[in-house]
């Protein structure tokens, strides 16, 4: 496993990681509360525990790189710098949401930030992510595509078809398994004979590594290596990033498939706590400055809820918009 001491990164980087991950955590905690209060409907998959995966990816990429992920997608736009109010409004199905209230929890998009979705069909984003990279290569850019999916999606056949073509064509795509060990309620151990998911690229000779996903420095460094490899024209890398979701698969999950001790063990390596420890140990911030960050995050989350609550629902006329690019498409209405 790739690990890092931590001293290689700047004070500013640590403070940025802390604030970004704390925002993801507090935002998701608020989502969980609001969902229980039935403030919004649909599914709701929280990213709590996995924050270092997004934070370490985004700190290692450039702004022109592209991002595509699965339905557990609230943290990715936050990490990319989207104001959380647009994510929250999307959860509420409001017209001001980042997908105009047309995508909901599983479909967060922002073209300005190169956030190419949130995708609800498990594993569908694996070939699409390679396709995004295909376009970058076709256009001759140095950009890479980050294609994230869970350990469950890794069992879709599309993964093998995509790995084969991505290696054959040396596409600049980085496959990130956000490996939280559970496909909904089914553990990796119960669904495969080969539990080391970093080996999944072996028959395509795809470079791969397992990464400590509870340590943001380790994620950053692995992503940086993979980016360097891809930008040189050498093709994809598979990163099996070992992480953990503290909450259930979705809000309706009784979590009978795992023990409280297991959850506790992972929480003991909490990625946000670790970053905060480093900040305190190295005196990167005073107690007051840390409190200021916490206050800022809380204010942002509160502002997001207020914004979402007060935003309008989409006008009914929006039903027939954004289905076709053709503006006068003749819909059948009876």
Partner 1 sequence: MRVIQFREALREAMSEEMRRDKNVYLMGEEVAEYNGAYKVSQGMLDEFGPERVIDTPIAELGFTGIAVGSAMNGLRPIVEFMTWNFAILAADQIINSAAKMLQMSGGQYSVPIVFRGGNGTAGQLAATHSQSFEAFYAHVPGLKVLTPSNPYDAKGLLKAAIRDNDPVVFLESEKMYGDKGEVPEGEYIIPIGQAKVKRTGADVTIVSFGKIIKIVDEAADALAAEGIHVEVIDLRTIRPWDEKTVIESVKKTNRLLIVEESWPVASIASEITFRVQRMAFDYLDAPIRRLMQSDTPFPFSTSLIEAALPNTGDVVRVVKELMYK
For residue 142, state whether it binds partner 1 (rule: CB under 8 A): no
Stretch that binds partner 1, among 57-65, 75-83, 153-161, 238-246 (CB under 8 A): 153-161
Exactly one of 74, 119, 247, 274 binds partner 1 (CB under 8 A); that residue is 119
75 three-class SS = helix
For residue 155, state whether it binds partner 1 (rule: CB under 8 A): no
For residue 203, state whether it binds partner 1 (rule: CB under 8 A): no
Exactly one of 129, 150, 201, 236 binds partner 1 (CB under 8 A); that residue is 129
Q: Which is nearer to partner 1, 115 or 290 (CB)?
A: 115
* Residues in region 36-95 near partner 1 by CB under 8 A: 66, 68
For residue 110, state whether it binds partner 1 (rule: CB under 8 A): yes
Tell me the closest approach of the beta carbon of residue 305 to partner 1, in angstroms. Answer: 21
Instruction: Please state the φ and ψ torsions of residue 112, each to the nearest 5 degrees.
Output: -60, -40
Q: Which is nearer to partner 1, 56 or 127 (CB)?
A: 127
| Cα torsion through 60, 63, 68, 69, rounded to 10 | 50
129 three-class SS = helix
Exactly one of 28, 51, 136, 217 binds partner 1 (CB under 8 A); that residue is 136
Specify whether the CB–CB gap between 167 and 204 falls below 8 A: yes
253 three-class SS = coil
Q: Which two tokens stand for residue 176?
A: 């990130």
Separation between Cα atoms, residue 37 and residue 206, nearest integer Å? 45
Exactly one of 48, 53, 89, 128 binds partner 1 (CB under 8 A); that residue is 128
Separation between Cα atoms, residue 211 and residue 245, nearest integer Å? 16
Exactly one of 11, 36, 64, 161 binds partner 1 (CB under 8 A); that residue is 161
| Complete DSSP assignment for 185-253 | TEEHHHH-S---GGGGGGGGT--EEEEETT-HHHHHHHHHHHHHHHHTT---EEEEEE---SS-SSTT-
Q: Which is nearer to partner 1, 48 or 108 (CB)?
A: 108
Residue in the block written with tokens 């380790």: 218
Number of residues that bind partner 1 (CB under 8 A): 51
For residue 235, state whether it binds partner 1 (rule: CB under 8 A): no
Specify whether the CB–CB gap between 176 and 149 falls below 8 A: yes
Q: Can you say how many angstroms the Cα of residue 222 is from the centroid of all Cα atoms in its chain?
A: 16
Stretch that binds partner 1, among 24-32, 110-118, 290-298, 305-313 (CB under 8 A): 110-118
Residue in the block written with tokens 């598979």: 238
Task: Give the per-residue contact string, 305-324, with partner 1 (x = CB under 8 A; - = no).
Answer: ----------------xxxx
Specify whether the CB–CB gap between 53 and 79 falls below 8 A: no
Tell me the closest approach of the beta carbon of residue 94 to partner 1, in angstroms. Answer: 11
Going by C-alpha positions, the residue among 296, 298, 276 that lies closest to residue 286 is 276
Residues binding partner 1 (CB under 8 A): 66, 68, 97-103, 107, 109-111, 116-117, 119, 121, 124, 126-136, 138-139, 145, 157-158, 160-162, 164-165, 168, 321-326, 329-332, 334
């Amino acid at each position: 496993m790739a690990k890092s001491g931590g001293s290689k990164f700047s004070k500013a980087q640590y403070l940025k990681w802390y604030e970004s991950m704390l925002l993801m955590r507090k935002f998701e905690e608020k989502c969980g509360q609001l969902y229980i209060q039935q403030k919004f409907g649909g599914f709701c998959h929280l990213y709590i525990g996995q924050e270092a995966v997004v934070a370490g990816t985004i700190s290692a990429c450039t702004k022109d790189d592209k991002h595509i992920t699965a339905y557990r997608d609230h943290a990715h736009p936050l990490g990319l710098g989207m104001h959380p109010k647009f994510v929250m409004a999307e959860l509420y199905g409001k017209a001001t949401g980042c997908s105009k209230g047309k995508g909901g929890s599983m479909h967060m998009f922002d073209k300005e930030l190169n956030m190419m979705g949130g995708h609800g069909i498990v594993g569908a984003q694996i070939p699409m992510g390679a396709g995004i990279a295909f376009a970058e290569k076709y256009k001759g850019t140095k950009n890479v595509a980050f294609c994230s999916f869970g350990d469950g999606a890794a069992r879709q056949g599309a993964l093998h078809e995509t790995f084969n073509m991505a290696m054959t064509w040396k596409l600049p795509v980085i496959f990130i398994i956000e490996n939280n060990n559970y496909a909904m309620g089914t553990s990796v151990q119960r669904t495969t004979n080969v539990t080391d998911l970093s080996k999944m690229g072996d028959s395509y000779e795809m470079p791969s590594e397992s990464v400590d996903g509870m340590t943001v420095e380790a994620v950053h460094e692995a992503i940086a290596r993979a980016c360097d490899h891809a930008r040189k024209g050498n093709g994809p890398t598979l990163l099996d990033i070992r992480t953990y979701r503290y909450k259930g698969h979705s809000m309706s999950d009784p979590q009978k498939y795992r023990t409280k001790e297991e959850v506790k063990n992972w929480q003991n390596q909490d990625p946000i706590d670790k970053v905060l420890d480093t900040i305190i140990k190295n005196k990167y911030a005073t107690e007051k400055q840390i409190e200021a960050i916490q206050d800022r995050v809380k204010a942002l989350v509160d502002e997001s809820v207020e914004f979402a609550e007060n935003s309008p629902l989409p006008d009914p006329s929006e039903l027939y918009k954004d289905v076709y690019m053709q503006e006068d498409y003749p819909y059948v209405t009876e």
